[in-house]
Amino acid sequence: MTNLVVEISRYLIILLIAIYTYYNFRFFSMNEEEDRNFACGRQLVCMFMLHFLAYLVIVLNTKSEALMLFYGVQVLFFVCYIFLTRIFYKRVSRLLLNNVCMLLCTGFIILTRLNPERAMRQFVIVAISAVVTWIIPFIIDRVWQLVKIPWLYGILGILILAVVCVIGNTSYGAQLSLTIRGISIQPSEFVKISFVFFVATMFYRSTQFGHVVITTMVAAAHVLILVLSRDLGSALIYFVTYLMMLFVATSNWFYLGCGVLSGAGASVVAYKLFAHVRRRVEAWRDPWADIDDQGYQVTQGLFAMGTGGWFGMGLYQGVPEKIPVVENDFVFAAISEELGAIYAICILLICVGCFVQFMMIAMKMQAMFYKLIAFGLGTMYITQVFLTVGGVLKFIPSTGVTLPFISYGGSSILATFVLFNIIQGLYILKRGEEEENEKR
């Protein structure tokens, strides 16, 4: 009987995530408010059913009452979070809210499977982050002084990164985190947001050549410090974000060309200069050559995804724990192994869906400042998704960044909550404007 439930759930979960993803894109072609609400409602039904089935399998496999309770708490959290957000912010983007919950839900499922203790810690962080970042849309909507303090963002960002670079803890050869009273935080996750604000405020003021040079220098300082900390994944994310924001702010193809060329040049220099960069590139080009050491993580990821196939092995049927740092950088491989490649592709599409929404909001915003904020944060988000998933798929060399909202890690969760809630704030702001215009 258990086997029957487990096997049927395996296919149902895939069906549910596929329907969810379908509505995610169908949504964009709907114009009526009523249709859109209907689609979002269906999405929630899918999400809660999927969540239930996954935890049913988890509980059947572990026979753990604690996990049963954990499931209950999660349901309570999701219901409250969705319900209260919609009450407090009437104009919230339901689609984006759903996507946040779907990604979190997937994160909880796979982390519970991999390491229940960490899943519970993750849940606590999620709950705290959800409450703390609750206020952000409110601030965005009302506090326009945010645009007045570019140098605060810029200097603060550089200072924090510099501190991490000098006294940070080293993990996997990079200085990433600070430990304060036993809590390890990764400041570069938060500096991402101040960085986007800095660039947006600077370009909002002026896009004259001299101004662009100054902004570029400060942005370059961020990137250089990250390179010195050997956090090349973040350095790349900052670089791409800056370059694209510069391009959108100035519409200057020459800047874009120079940026791409200097980026390519810097990559070559980094390859020549740093042994760890060469190792990553080698492990990407031919992971089989050094399968015991440098290629181990990539090949184990490929084994996991390949063995799982389209429909996955089923929860607890695979061996994702064989993959090093599976809960962080390689969580995508674990999802694909046990929940199936279809599920993993759906997650990828949901991330792209979020990005498309960010870009639509950016296009709708009239003020250049808000436009650049939405655009910059969206670029930052999708670059990170691309780097982590591309690295796991051996599409690009692995850079060791996390999958937002799914990977284990407190700083990443909190920063992603901040990011999404800023976007929600912009959306709410824009809808407020539109509704006022209609009234007139």
Contact residues toward another protein (CB under 8 A) are 3-4, 7-8, 144, 147, 204, 244, 247-249, 251, 291, 299-300, 302-307, 309-310, 313, 317-319, 322, 341, 344-345, 348-349, 352, 355-356, 359, 362-363, 366-369, 371, 375, 379, 382, 386, 389-390, 393, 395
3-state secondary structure of 399: coil
Provide the residue type at 165 as one letter.
C
Q: Which is nearer to another protein, 7 or 435 (CB)?
A: 7
Q: What angle do CA 249, 380, 185 make, to 5 degrees?
A: 130
CB of 4 to another protein, least distance (A): 6
The string over 419-437, giving b where at least 16 C-beta atoms fall within 10 Å of a residue's C-beta and e elsewhere, is bbbbbbbbbbbbbeeeeee
From CA 40, how far away is CA 85, in angstroms rounded?
15
Nearest-approach distance from CB 152 to another protein, in angstroms: 18
Least distance CB 372 / another protein (angstroms) = 9
Nearer to another protein, 162 or 345 (CB): 345
Question: Cβ of residue 145: shortest distance to another protein, in angstroms?
Answer: 9
Residues in the chain: 440
Alpha-carbon distance of 94 to 23, in angstroms, equals 12
Task: Report, in Å, the least distance between residue 281 CB and another protein.
Answer: 18
Q: Tell me how far CA of residue 284 lies from CA of 23, 64, 100, 151, 222, in angstroms.
A: 35, 40, 31, 39, 27
Complex with another protein: residue 71 or 204, whichever CB lies closer: 204
We find the least distance from the C-beta atom of residue 431 to another protein, in angstroms, to be 17
Residue number, 147 or 178, with CB nearest to another protein: 147
Least distance (Å) from another protein to the CB of residue 276? Answer: 23
Among residues 9 and 411, whose Cβ is nearest to another protein? 9
Q: Cβ closer to another protein: 16 or 354?
A: 354
Cα–Cα distance, 56 to 79 (Å, whole number): 19
Please list the residues that pair with 174 across neighbouring strands: 171
Output the CA–CA distances (angstroms, integers) from residue 398 to 149, 284, 301, 335, in the order listed. Answer: 36, 7, 11, 17
Nearer to another protein, 327 or 338 (CB): 338
